Structure 1
C-alpha cells in the first residue's frame, strides 16, 4: 500500500510541475489547468497519508514486532543531501527530514497557485466594467473612424473634436456630440471624422479626456499614393508567457511591436495594423461562460490593457489604427457552425460594436444586405484590399459542398478579383484569418485545406487577374502561431521541377502567414511541402511575438532603367527584430506588363537554426502517430460495424 501511495505521490507531483510549466510558458491549453488542480488534490492526499503512516525517522521495526529507537549508524551528510534532493525532485516525503517534505509540498502548492493566478487574476481583479478607451479604426483620405467606450453617465454628453496637428492648440473642430450611451452597445460608440485633408496628421480629443492622433491616407493618384506601409499579425493573449510580476492584462507583443516600429524612418512608419483574428481567446485557457456578457468582458479586458499606453520615441500603441478580421477564438476553437448556432450570436455582438463598427466599408458588390456583411474592401495608396471573413459563413470542412466563404462572399470576392484597378493601384491584397496553403499538416481542415474545391475556384480567378489585369495578388493570413511564406504558381506557367522545389523563391501568387503577435508557439514542426501546388518559400515557427511589415514603393527597374516598378517588401519581425525580408514587384505602367510577373527574391535571411532538422523530424513523427491513430480508429470502427451487421454484437 505504501509503495502504491509513493507512486501516486511521485506521479501527481511530476504532473503538477510539468503541466503547470506547459500552461504558463508553452501553451495555455484548456485541459492543463484542470489537470494541475486535480493532480494537486491527489498529491496532497497521498503525501498526507504517507506522512501519517510513516514511523518516526529514528524508529526501526524489529523482527519481534517491537520498535527500536536506535538510529542507523551509517547515516551521513551525503545521504541526507541525496535524500533532500530526491524529495525536492520527486515530491516524495523524506524520512530523515520532514522539513524537505513540506518544502517540496509547498513548491507544488505554489506552482498550482501560479496556474490559478494566471487563470483568474485578470478576471477577478480587473473585471473592466468601467473601462474607458478610444481608438482609431479605418482611415481613408478624407475620413477616419473613431470608436470609444464611456460607461460613466456623468461624462455625457461626450463632445468629439479634432484638429490638424500643425494648428494652434485651441483651434478645434467639433465633429459631433454623443448624448446617450447604454448597454445595448456595451457603452460604445463609433464616430466618423469627415471632410478631412488627404495625407494629413490630425489630433482628436473627447470631452471625457480621451485623446489620440492619426494620419489620413494619401489622395488617390497623387505622388504620395505610390507608397504605403502597414503591419499585419494575429493572435494575442495577455500575460503570456506568464510572468508573476507582470500586469495580468499586459500584452507584451503590443509593446514589442510599438518599440520596433518607433525605430523605423518616417517613410516606413505603418499606416495601420491589419489584424487577422484571435483578438480574444474566450476558450483559452478556460471558458468561463458563453453569454454575450462573457464575450463583451473579454474585449473590455483587452482594451483595458496597460500595453495600449506604451510609448516609445513619441509613438503610442493606441495611436496605430487597427482594422480587424474575425477568427475562431473570438467564437469557439475551430468554429464551422455558421452564424445562427450558439454561441455565435453572443460572440458576434461585441465584435460588431468594438471592431466592425470602425472597420473599412463593405465591398461595392457584397451580394448580400450590407448590414449582414462582415467582409470588407478598401483602397489605400498603391493597393486595394479585400478582408475575408472565413468563420461566419463557413460550413463543415472536407465535404463535397463545403464552403469557407459562403455564396455571397465568394461571389463578392470573385467580382473584386475580376475588376480592373484604377491607375496607380498595382496590388490586390486578400486577407484571410486562416492560411490558404495546405502545407500545415496539423489542423489542415480548419484552413483552406479543408475547402479545396472553393480554394481552386479562387486561385483560378487570381491567376486570371494577374494575367489579364496587369496587377499582382498577395495573400495575407494568420491563425497558426507560426510564419510561413508560400507561393501558388499558375499551372499555365508550366514551371520545371527545379522551379517548384521546396524553400525556393520564385513565381506565383504569394501568401505570407504570420502570428502570433503575443501568444504561444510550438517547437514541433508541422509545415512542409508535399506537392507542387503549394511551394514552400520560408518557414519560421519560433517566437512568441511575430508580425509582418509590408512596404510598397516605386523604384526603377534593375534591368531596364526606363521602367518603373511598384515594389512590395515583406519584412518578418520576430521578437522585435527583422529576421527575413522578401521582395516582389510589378511594372508601374500597365503597358509594360506581361503575363508573367518577376519572380520574388530574398533580400535578407537570419533564420538559421541548428535544431531545425530535429524539430522537423519530430513534427513528421507526430504526423505519423496521428495518422496511425486515425487508421487504428477506422479499423476498429469497421470491425465493430461488421460485427453488428452479422448480429454477433447487440
Structure 2
C-alpha cells in the first residue's frame, strides 16, 4: 500500500516542476510563485522524513516495538519495488538503493525553484536603476519634436539640448534650450520641445550629458509626401519572458525582433512612430513588490534600462523610433476600474506622466476638461488623424447601469472628434484604445468595451454616421489581449445579407485590429469567437510571444480614380503572417458605401485537432468566470441581508 508521505512527496514534486514550467515559459501569473515555494518546503520536509525512514533498520534505532518494525519493513519493501534512477528523477521520490539519486532529484526541484526565484527578483534586486540615464523622442509634428530624457547626476547640470540636420554633418548645432534643474519631483526626467524644424527632414539631437539620437519630422500637410505614412502598433511587454537563465533580466526580445523586422523594410515603409497601447510595465506581474510611487517609478526605469533599446539592426535602434503611449491596467492594477482618485492610481500616474505623457501628442482642442487633467490625445500625421482614448483613468465599474469606460468629458471630446470633418488630404480617422472594442473575446470580456456596450453603441453610431456623411474611413486599433483579432462592425443601415456576416470573412464595416503582446505570454486557450452579427470575426491569431502590426497608408490609382489604401501587416515572431487592405476614395463622396476590406496574404496555418481542446478549455473558463461572478454577487447580497437583519435586531 502506498504511504501518504510518498503521495505528498510525488505530488509536491510534480507541482513544483509543472507550475515552474507554466510560470517561466507560459504565463508568469502572480499565483504561481507562492505555489512553487510552498510546494518546495512541503517537498523537502516530506522527502527527508521519508528518506530517513527508508534507512536500513540496523542503521537506525527501533521505535514502537515489533509492529513498528514490521510496518517499516513493509514500507521499505514497497520502496524497493520498482526502485530505479529514472523513477527517482521523474517522480522526486527517494531512492533507498542510491542516496545520490535522491540528492539529484531533490536538487532538480531546488534548481527549478531557484530559476523561478531568479526570474522573480534578479531584475528587481540587481538592477534598481536609480542611475539610469536615457533620451527618447515622443510625438513628432512637421515643425516640432518632443524630447524626453532622464539625468539623475546633478553634476551634469545644466543639460544643453541641441539639434542639426542629419544630412549636414558640417552644419553647426542649433541650441534649443538649457535645463538648469532636474530633481526627484519628476524622477529626474525632463521634457524639451524642439521647435522651428523643417517638415519631412531627418535630424539628429545631442544633449550635453552625451545622450544622442535621431528622428524624422512629419511631412507638411498638402504636399505629395503627406499622402503616405507608416507606423507600428502593439501593446504589453515584460522583460526576459519567456524566461532564459542566460538572458539579461531586463532584455525585451520583442523589441529586438521588431527592430530587426523594421530594418528590412524599404525606405517608403519605414514607420514614423510606435503607437503603444498600454501595459508598458507590469507592476503586478509576476509579483507586486509595492504600490508606492517609488515602486512604479522603478519599473519604468527598469524598462528604460533594457539593453534591447540599443540593439542595432542595420544601424537602427528601437530608442530612435518615436513612441507615443496609452495607459492600461497593469500600469496601475489588474482590471483597474476605480477612477483617478483611488489608490494606487495617483502613485501610478506620476511616472506615466513624467515618462510618457510629457512626450505624447497634444490633448484634443475640444477636451471638455482642464488640459492638466486630460490623458487622451489627438494629432494629425499625413493622410490620417488620430484620437488616443484613455480607457482606464475615467472608467467606472463595468456591466452596471450607466457604466462608462471614457468618462463624460472624454466621451464628449471623442464624439466631437468623430463628427468633425477632416481637412483635405486626410482620409482616415484612426481611434486607438488600450482594450478591444469587440465583445468577441469571451474571457475577461467585461474588462473590454464589452463591459460598456451602451457607451460603445453611442460611439459606433457616431462613427457610422461620420463615414456616411464625410466619406472618410474610421479604423480602430487596440491591444491588451495578448492575441491578435481582426473584427468588423457593419453599419446596420447597410442591411447586409447573412452570407456577408459569416465568421472569418472580409467585408464591409468599421474595422478593428487588436494586437499584442509585443513581448509577453500569449494565451494557449481559445477565447475569441463570433456569437452574433454585430461583431463579425475577420481573423484570429492567438499564438506568438511577439506580435505587432505595421500600418501603411499610401495613395494608388484604382478603377474609379485615386484611392487612399491602408494595409495592415501582422507580424508574429518577426515574420509577416497576415495582410489586410482597406481603401477610401480620395475624392470624398458622402453617403456612398465604402469599399469592403480584403485579405492580401495569409500564412497562418489552419487550426489542428488541438483547437477543439483549446476552445473547450476557453469555454469552461468562460462558464467558470460567470458562475464565480454570480456566486460572489449572491454572497455579497446575503451578507447585506444579514447585516440589515442584525441592525434590526
- Superposition TM-score, scaled by structure 1 size: 0.94
In structure 2, what is the equivalent of residue 144 of structure 1?
145
Q: Does the alignment pair 1:14 with 2:11?
A: no
Cα shift readout 1:200-238 (whole Å, capped 9, x = no counterpart): 000001111111000000000110000000000000000
Counterpart check, 1:252 vs 2:250? no
Q: Distance in 1 between matches of 2:13 and 2:306?
A: 34
* Correspondence 1:306-325 to 2 at 5 A: 306-325=307-326
Is the 8 Å Cα contact of residues 391 and 406 (structure 2) preserved in structure 1? Answer: yes
Q: Secondary structure at the match of 2:3?
A: helix
How far off its partner does 1:491 sit? 0.4
Report if aligned partners of 1:20, 1:36 keep a CA contact under 8 Å in 2. Answer: yes
Alpha-carbon distance between aligned partners in 2 of 1:595 and 1:556, rounded to the nearest angstrom: 19
| Cα displacement string for residues 504-543 of structure 1 (whole angstroms, at most 9, x for unaligned residues) | 1100000000000000011100000001100000000000
Which string of whole-angstrom CA distances, capped at 9 and with x for unpartnered residues, describes residues 102-157 of structure 1?
11100010000000000110011110000000000000000000000000011111
Deviation at 1:637, TM superposition (A): 8.0
Say which SS state the counterpart of residue 290 (structure 2) adopts: coil
Matching residue of 2:268: 267
CA contact (8 A) 1:151 1:181 kept: yes
CA deviation after TM superposition for structure 1 residue 613, in Å: 3.8
* Distance in 2 of aligned mates of 1:372 and 1:642: 40
Change (3 A) 1:52 1:503: same
CA spacing shift, 1:141–1:635, aligned 2, 3 Å = closer
Would the alpha carbon gap of residues 215 and 640 (structure 1) be closer, same or farther in structure 2, given more than 3 Å must change? closer
Cα distance in structure 2, aligned partners of 1:55 and 1:104:
18
Q: What secondary structure, in the 3-state scheme, does the structure 2 residue paired with 1:123 have?
A: helix
Distance 1:110 1:260 in 2: 36
Q: Which residue of 2 aligns with 1:615?
A: 614
* 1:513-524 map, 5 Å: 513-524=514-525
Q: For 2:331 and 2:643, locate their aligned partners in 1 and report how far apart those are by CA, in whole Å.
A: 42
List per-residue Cα deviations over 1:45-64 (Å, max 9, x = no partner). Answer: 11111122223289899x97
- In the alignment, does 2:306 pair up with 1:305? yes
Matching residue of 1:567: 565
Contact 1:581 1:604 in 2 (8 A): yes
Q: Are 1:162 and 2:163 counterparts?
A: yes
Distance of 1:448 and 1:593 partners within structure 2: 28
What does the per-residue CA deviation read over 1:544-596, in whole Å, with 9 as the maximum and x for residues that have no partner?
00000000000111x33xx1000000000000000000000000111x45521
Q: Could you tell me how far 1:2 is from its partner in structure 2? A: 8.3
CA RMSD of aligned residues (A): 2.5
Partner of 2:540: 539
Question: Partners of 2:55 and 2:139 in 1: how far apart?
Answer: 72
State the Cα deviation string for residues 147-205 of structure 1 (Å, max 9, x = none). 00000011111111100011124621111111111000000000100000000000001
Counterpart contact for 1:59–1:67, Cα < 8 Å: no
Q: Residues 2 and 50 of structure 1 are in contact (CA less than 8 Å); yes or no, is this contact kept in structure 2?
A: no
Work out whether residues 586 and 593 of structure 1, in 8 Å CA contact, stay in contact via their aligned partners in 2.
Answer: no
* Aligned residue number for residue 45 of structure 2: 45
Contact 1:388 1:430 in 2 (8 A): yes
Q: Which residue of 2 aligns with 1:173?
A: 174
Q: What SS does structure 2 have at the residue aligned with 1:565?
A: strand
Taking the TM superposition and a 5 Å limit, the aligned residue runs for 1:439-450 are: 439-450=440-451
SS for the counterpart of 2:413 is helix
CA drift at 1:624: 3.6
Tell me the secondary structure at the aligned position of residue 258 of structure 1: helix
Q: Give the 3 Å change call, closer, same or farther, for CA 630–335 of structure 1 in structure 2.
A: closer
* Inter-CA distance 163–639: structure 2 relative to 1 (3 Å threshold): closer
* Closer/same/farther in 2, CA of residues 65 and 294 from structure 1, 3 Å limit: closer
**Aligned mates of 2:389, 2:240 — CA distance in 1:** 29
CA deviation after TM superposition for structure 1 residue 278, in Å: 0.1
- Cα distance in structure 1, aligned partners of 2:114 and 2:362: 46
Report the counterpart of residue 392 of structure 1 in structure 2: 393
Matched, 1:512 2:513: yes
* Separation in 1, partners of 2:632, 2:328: 30
- Cα contact 1:57–1:96 (8 A) shared by 2: no
Three-state SS of the structure 2 residue aligned to 1:176 is strand
- 1:275-300 superposed Cα distances (whole Å, 9 cap, x missing partner): 00000000000000000000000000
Residue number in structure 1 paired with 2:602: 605
Say if 2:438 is the partner of 1:429: no
Residue 94 (structure 1) aligns with: 95
Count how many residue pairs are aligned between Structure 1 and Structure 2: 637
Output the CA distance in 1 between the equivalents of 2:361 and 2:413: 15
Could you say which residue in structure 1 is the equivalent of 2:204? 203
Q: SS at the partner of 2:569?
A: strand
**Contact kept? 2:133, 2:150, Cα under 8 Å:** yes
Which residue matches 2:554?
A: 553
Per the TM alignment, residue 616 of structure 1 is displaced from its structure 2 partner at its CA by 2.4
Q: Distance in 2 between matches of 1:457 and 1:34?
A: 44
1:37-76 aligned at under 5 Å gives the runs 37-56=37-56
Shift of 1:359: 0.1
Secondary structure (helix, strand or coil) at the match of 1:581 reads: strand
How far is 1:631 from its partner? Answer: 6.0
Distance 1:176 1:635 in 2: 61
Q: Residue in 1 aligned with 2:347?
A: 346
Asked if the contact 2:277/2:478 (under 8 Å) is kept, the reply is: yes
2:592 equivalent to 1:595: yes
Q: State the distance in 2 between where 1:439 and 1:254 align.
A: 28
Q: Does 1:366 align with 2:363?
A: no
Contact 1:587-1:593 at 8 Å conserved across structures? no
Cα distance in 2 between the residues matched to 1:300 and 1:102: 41
Q: Secondary structure at the match of 1:464?
A: helix
Show CA shifts across 1:578-626 (max 9, x none).
0000000000111x45521000000000112324344223322333444
1:37 deviation in Å? 0.7
Alignment CA distance shift 1:186-1:501 (3 Å): same
Is contact 2:468–2:590 with CA below 8 Å preserved after alignment?
no
In structure 2, relative to structure 1, the CA distance for the partners of 1:38 and 1:362 (3 Å cut) is same
In structure 1, the partner of 2:33 is 33
